Chains A and B, each alone.
Chain A
Amino acid sequence: MTLFGYRLPGMSSLLIWGLLWELVGQAGLTFFVPPLSEVIATLFEVIQTAAFQKALAETAYAFFAGVFFAIVIGIPVGILMGKNRLLDEMLLPWVNVFLSAPLTALVPVLMVLFGFGMKSIIITTTLFAIWIIILNARAGVKQINRSLVEMAHSFGAGPWDAFSKIYFWAALPEILGGVRIGVIRAVKGVIIGQLLISIVGFGALFELYSANFLMSHFWAVLIVLFALAFTISEFLAYLERRVAYYAAKR
């Protein structure tokens, strides 16, 4: 973006929105929006509290466990669906249903099945992330160059070699794209899980702050959460760029 001939650094539009936020806050139009400066000051206070750090640890644990299962189950399932017609026809309708289903509505069922603890939260997180990971891995395998598979076969590659040395790498650009979107969905999943299943982690903080009308605390935690999600997503986008050199030449 350029302004009056000057090149502006990326994301400078955030400055404008920040300024607007500050103005609305200072004007005192609604208690819901305290000035940004106040929110930032609260943020530095909040992140030093034990409550915040405990919430962060709990959330991170559920998030990473959920994403871990989504990845280690999702990628192989997606690859197998791409390779195997029968499996594909059996599973694809379900994957599509769950991809667009309102998963929040399933959370009570999970609570009945898996209890009110961490387990249900992790499963919720996995359920939010896994479907897009499966679909993308599948799409990556579908577009694979058949002659690469034949080549590996002709040199005596067994099923495991074909899987780990051809299919995985050929589908990697799509797989990373799927993981990136899956991770963003997992953030949503972990917070919804924490709000609905048991009031722990960031979910507990949100609940606490909004019930007590501590809006600057509320916004501060939300900003931290956005920043974390954004960082992870940018890191995955960076990995995607690392494999971009062959993505277009397969």
Chain B
Amino acid sequence: MAMSQTEPAVAETQAIPESAVSTRNITKFYGETEALRDLSLEFPRGQLTSLLGPSGCGKTTLLKIIAGLLEPTSGEVEVNGKTVTGPGPDRAFVFQDFALLPWASVLRNVAFGLEMRGAGKSEREAKAEHYIKQVGLAGFENAYPHELSGGMRQRVGLARALAVDSQVLLMDEPFSAVDEQTRRKFQEDLLALVLNENKTFIFVTHSIEEAVYVSDQIAILLPRPSRVHEIIRPSINRESGAANIRRDPEYLDIVDEIWASLRSYVE
């Protein structure tokens, strides 16, 4: 009896949840260069999907198409069931090169997204201060970007994207500018964020370990013209604590598996 009652529940949690973002048959040409070919991918709501692949395979291109910053040559992107025609308040972007306003303080930079979306000054500064604290930059509200380290700037870009409270966060190699220790700390913070914020994260990375560590789903892209080679859904138990994940045999197996399928393209 007990068995038959629990079984459907288990089946439900393991089913792939509905998609927040879908890309359908995306092809992208830059002039003669074909960056993406017929790429279709589903991004489940409330989960983190990593895009992993060799340099130049079109990860940034795909992310910018989802953001509505680039138009695909053909194919379409749907966010919450609506076709994307340009940037929208349902998505926020974390840029690979931070894209901070060098003439504005940290506070104003973090509040900039809200400013563009028409929030009043006191409201947006209150929210910005909250997220500045959350990314660990309290006390730097009035500093300018050139006074910050690379990792701190990256956190400003992250806080700016979080502050607009979009359903979908698009992150282009957000941890590439930080040292290994900070990177690990950021990865742990990111896991907490995915758990607490109930947002959909799309995360570009070069690092296999990082992808396996933080992702609910990993899409492995092949070199140009890029298609999805493989989708991996690590079922690592993340509640067991940060340190344990890296010792989880499943974690190690998946890292090896991904390396095996990518190594032929590196050589």
What is A's interface to B at a CB cutoff of 8 Å?
145, 147-148, 150-157, 161, 165-166, 169, 172, 243, 245-246, 249-250
A155 to B114, CA, bound (A): 8
Checking A152, A172, A243, A246 against B116 with a beta-carbon cut-off of 8 angstroms, the contacting residue is A152
Known contacts A155-B92, A245-B144, A246-B146; A150/B113 CB under 8 A: no
A151 to B146, CA, bound (A): 18
A155 touches B112 (CB 8 A): yes
B101 touches A169 (CB 8 A): yes
B128 to chain A, nearest CB (A): 13
What is B's interface to A at a CB cutoff of 8 Å?
64, 67-69, 87-89, 91-93, 95, 97, 99, 101-103, 112-113, 115-117, 144-146, 164
A154 to chain B, nearest CB (A): 4
B97 touches A147 (CB 8 A): yes
B97 touches A249 (CB 8 A): no
- Set of chain A residues within 8 Å of B103, measured between Cβ atoms: 169, 172, 243, 246
Known contacts A147-B97, A154-B87, A155-B113; A249/B102 CB under 8 A: yes
Classify the interface of chain A: helix, strand, loop or mixed: helix
- Set of chain A residues within 8 Å of B67, measured between Cβ atoms: 154
Please give me the residue from chain B that is nearest to A248 by CB atom: B146
Classify the interface of chain B: helix, strand, loop or mixed: loop
How many pairs, one residue from A and one from B, have CB atoms within 8 Å of each other in the complex?
56
Please give me the residue from chain B that is nearest to A148 by CB atom: B99
A155 to B164, CA, bound (A): 9
A155 to chain B, nearest CB (A): 4
- Set of chain B residues within 8 Å of A169, measured between Cβ atoms: 101, 103
- Set of chain B residues within 8 Å of A161, measured between Cβ atoms: 116
A62 to chain B, nearest CB (A): 34
A250 touches B99 (CB 8 A): no
29 residue pairs of the A-B complex, CB under 8 angstroms, read A145-B97, A147-B99, A148-B99, A150-B69, A150-B99, A151-B95, A151-B99, A153-B69, A153-B87, A154-B68, A154-B87, A154-B92, A154-B93, A155-B87, A155-B92, A155-B113, A155-B116, A155-B117, A156-B87, A156-B89, A156-B116, A156-B117, A157-B116, A169-B101, A246-B102, A246-B103, A246-B146, A249-B102, A249-B146
Q: Which of A152, A153, A156 has the most CB of B within 10 A?
A: A156
- Set of chain A residues within 8 Å of B115, measured between Cβ atoms: 165
A246 to B115, CA, bound (A): 21
